[in-house]
Amino acid sequence: MSGSAGERRLFGVVGHPLSQSLSPLIHNWGFARNDLPGTYMAWEIDPDHLPHFVVALRTLPISGASVTIPHKQNIVPYVDRLSDTALNVGSVNTLLWQDGDLWGENTDVAGFLAPLLEREETIRSALILGAGGGTLACIRGLRQLGVTDVEVAARNAGKARDLAKSQGVAAISWDQMDSRSADLLVNATPLGMKGKAEETLPLSPTPERFPLVYDLVYNPVQTRLLRASENAGCRTISGLSMFVNQAREQFRIWTGLDLEESSLAELVREQLEGK
């Protein structure tokens, strides 16, 4: 972590709302575990006040920040430089200072890819549900794996078509999903999230149609989609993996240190399950 020895550095997450954010838990745990003088806070900023937050960021001694919904794309015009990943995805989830410039980075791609790297040889096609920033990160990650057969479906058909056209992938309508199959199914929508259509099942996967199902929702850890997929015999990946690994990459960017994945995942799981 930059700065003189013993100097307490300030970090935080900016988003709206933030009542359920686990980012302070993760990063403050990381600072304590590594005996680093850092503090990580939650800054709930209304979208209309984002420009004022950036002024504060540039004025106050803030060393870095996480960016979450709904600011990931809106923050882009306010940074000085974008990493190649952030530029290609078109969204930023990490802010850092480098040589006096405010940089925008995106660690969602690294987080998304982490559990897929050991399975990459089995993935040649994918269907992604959703047309937001999470879908953009998934498309970028799948390209890094060499997956070119990618389809996108969203309840907002127009948004799905626009995103697909901008990314050079195919769009299908929401009611076409039952006729599709792919090596990988990714849910990048809020469907299944705690408090947001938690019991909604976007489709019923089978191992013949979708051998591997990846739900980016991490609260609850075991979503209805994952339960249905496992019961049908599909292999599954919880969104907890992406969430933990994107945070690990942020921590590494800010401090140069790595957080142990299994310990961090257990910390988050216990918090989500109220243990």
Distances in Å between the Cα of 191 and the Cα atoms of 155, 197, 219, 220 are 11, 5, 11, 11
Q: How far apart are the first and last CA of the chain?
A: 31
**Both tokens assigned to 88:** 């290609």
Q: Which residues pair with 128 in a beta bridge?
A: 152, 186
Residue type, 247: A
Grouping H, G, I as helix, E, B as strand and the rest as coil, residue 36 is: coil
Q: Which residues pair with 152 in a beta bridge?
A: 128, 171
**Both tokens assigned to 102:** 């405010």
Taking Cα atoms as reference points, which of 144, 139, 140, 147 lies closest to residue 122?
147
* Catalytic position from the list 72, 159, 165, 275: 72
**CA geometry: angle 264, 266, 267, nearest 5 deg:** 65
Backbone angles phi and psi of 152, in degrees to 5: -125, 135
Instruction: List strand residue ranges (DSSP E) for the chain, in order.
Output: 9-15, 38-44, 62-67, 81-82, 94-98, 101-105, 125-129, 149-153, 170-172, 184-187, 212-215, 235-237
Q: Catalytic residue at 72?
A: yes
List the catalytic residues: 72
